Amino acid sequence: MYRLMILTTLLLQTACASTPVSQTAICDGTEASRKALAAALVEDGGANSQRAGLRLLDQLHDGCHP
């Protein structure tokens, strides 16, 4: 529950950012983390975490590779 509250707070804060963000920087900067998340989800994630993680990775992939 604690993680959910922190994640929600972080998402709200990032949504309210007023400075422009470089899409390329986000995509390039998170590439290794996205690959690591994908590997970890396959290795030891439960069914729900796998679905949530894969959904997130798909969304990031769509945004970074239109």
More confident residue, 32 or 13: 32
pLDDT at position 16 over 60: no
Q: What pLDDT, on the 0 to 100 scale, is given for residue 3?
A: 67
* Alpha-carbon distances of 57 from 20, 31, 37, 63, rounded to whole Å: 23, 10, 8, 10
- Sequence-separated (6 or more) residues with CB below 8 Å from residue 53: 37, 38, 40, 41, 45
Query: Residues 44-63: pLDDT tens digits?
Result: 878 887 888 888 888 787 77
pLDDT at position 35 over 80: yes
Answering whether pTM is above 0.85, one says no
Locate 31 and state its tokens: 């590439």
Question: Would you place residue 7 in the very low, low, confident or very high pLDDT band (cuts 50, 70, 90)?
Answer: low
Task: Tell me which amino acid residue 55 is.
Answer: R
